Amino acid sequence: MKNSKKTILICLLIFQQSVFSIDFKKIEEHVANTPHSSTKSTEALSKYLTSAFEQEDEKFAAIYFWVGKNIRYDVNQKNQNRKYFSTKEIVNEVMKHRKGVCQHYSELFHELSRLAGLKSYVVSGYGKEYEKVMNLAHVWNVIEIDSTWYLVDVTWGAGYLYRGQYKNDFKLKYFMVEPAVFIVDHIPFDPMWQLLSFPIKYDEFDFGTTNNNVQKRFYYKDTIKIYVKLPVIEQKINTVRRIESNGKKNKLVLTELNHEREYIKIARKNEEIKNLNSGNYYYNEAVKQLNEFYELKQKKTKGKKVSNSKLMSELSLIEKNLNIAKKHYAKVKTTDKDISYKLKKVNSAVSKFEKIIVQQKGYLGNN
């Protein structure tokens, strides 16, 4: 037992040395000297903050310092359910006004990291304060350094709210936090982002209890590797599946689950419309080519030199575009009445079109 304790102590010391080998004083001075010209764009800012350092943890620290010390929490936005068209809009807004809520802090931290070639992800969930679940969703970051994962909450690291007023209180407590420590007061909606081999359930987090159910080991590193390579809609589908399987859900989790399902529904519809429009494009190209085919055929009738092989070649091009259109239409699997009606019409038109091609091929074969 004594040897075991010594081993654990040594491991802890090694971890502390690896994390706190960062010269935070040097980083703080570098950040404090950020020239105004470097704050005019995220590209310039990221380059200034990170180019002075070699190690990834130092680069992340420089970004954490700048965002935490230069962005002020916007109390007026706290309870607003604002909608943005893109993360770029969020980043541009916080760079311009130097204030925002957790989404702004996290998206800016992520963007500055991304531009520096660092691995960062934006994660949503909720937190606890004084062992009580907070009534609003929250957003933070996950980072990866040399295949090791850490969590960062630059919003909480920047300051806090007291009696409705924001107080600047920069601290390193929420920089490069180990998953087992972070889970004490943060839980992501998607259990994958707990970065734990045995993720806890929502109710375990909410009430500080432990379920005695035997769990299978969760290989989060492998799951994340697969996840990041998936199309966005597949990422969302997998996220919903994991949320659904992670136990009893409070209102915040249910709201997030509904948002994810709605996103999937809209994304699928958009994909169906995209395929329908792509099919229409190639169908219209085929129609245009058919008209050109008839013009050539008419020239031949009037005695112009137009060979049958030329006409056959034109029919082949028409058929090629029609087949591409059919492939796009075949991808449309929908229950939407409007899309279904349009799909039925175009499929009927394609069927008539194919008969025309067969007829024209037969004509050319007999002449």
User: Looking at the domain assignment, is residue 236 inside a domain?
Assistant: no
User: Looking at the domain assignment, is residue 18 inside a domain?
Assistant: no
Model pTM? Answer: 0.83
CA distance 130 to 185: 9
Domain boundary among 141, 158, 188: 188
Rounded to 5°, angle at Cα 154 from 149 and 155:
135
Domain boundary among 154, 188, 222: 188
Question: Which range (10-14, 151-155, 337-341) has the least confidence?
Answer: 10-14
In this structure, are residues 109 and 154 in contact, taking their beta carbons and an 8 Å threshold? yes
Give me the pLDDT at residue 7, please.
35
Give tens-digit pLDDT for 324-356.
Answer: 999 999 999 988 999 999 999 999 999 999 999
Residue 8 has pLDDT above 60, yes or no: no
At 367, is the pLDDT very low, low, confident or very high (cuts 50, 70, 90)?
low
Give me the pLDDT at residue 16, please.
40
In this structure, are residues 154 and 68 in contact, taking their beta carbons and an 8 Å threshold? yes
Give me the pLDDT at residue 20, please.
53
Let me know whether 180 and 275 are in one domain. no
CA distance 15 to 324: 57
In this structure, are residues 148 and 194 in contact, taking their beta carbons and an 8 Å threshold? no
Domain count, the chain: 2
Domain boundary among 140, 167, 188: 188
At 6, is the pLDDT very low, low, confident or very high (cuts 50, 70, 90)?
very low
DSSP H or E run through 325: helix 308-330
User: Looking at the domain assignment, is residue 216 inside a domain?
Assistant: no
Give tens-digit pLDDT for 126-146.
Answer: 999 999 999 999 999 999 999
User: Looking at the domain assignment, is residue 339 inside a domain?
Assistant: yes
Domain extent at residue 287: 267-365
Let me know whether 151 and 281 are in one domain. no
Let me know whether 87 and 179 are in one domain. yes
Number of H helices, E strands in the chain: 14, 8
Let me know whether 52 and 156 are in one domain. yes
Residue 13 CB contacts under 8 Å (≥ 6 apart), including other chains: none
CA distance 173 to 157: 7
Phi first, then psi: give them for residue 215, nearest 5 degrees. Answer: -110, 150
CA-closest candidate to residue 71, choices 184, 158, 165: 158
Give me the pLDDT at residue 300, please.
84
Let me know whether 276 and 179 are in one domain. no
Give tens-digit pLDDT for 190-246.
Answer: 999 999 999 999 999 999 988 777 788 999 999 999 999 999 999 999 999 999 999
Residue 258 has pLDDT above 60, yes or no: yes
Let me know whether 272 and 176 are in one domain. no
Let me know whether 34 and 176 are in one domain. yes
Give tens-digit pLDDT for 168-192.
Answer: 999 999 999 999 999 999 999 999 9
Specify burial of residue 362 (Cβ count, 10 A radius: 0-12, 13-18, 19+): exposed
CA-closest candidate to residue 32, choices 66, 72, 61, 76: 66
CA distance 213 to 68: 40
Give me the pLDDT at residue 21, please.
79
Give me the pLDDT at residue 18, please.
44
CA 319 to chain CA mean position, Å: 39
Give tens-digit pLDDT for 99-129.
Answer: 999 999 999 999 999 999 999 999 999 999 9
User: Looking at the domain assignment, is residue 91 inside a domain?
Assistant: yes
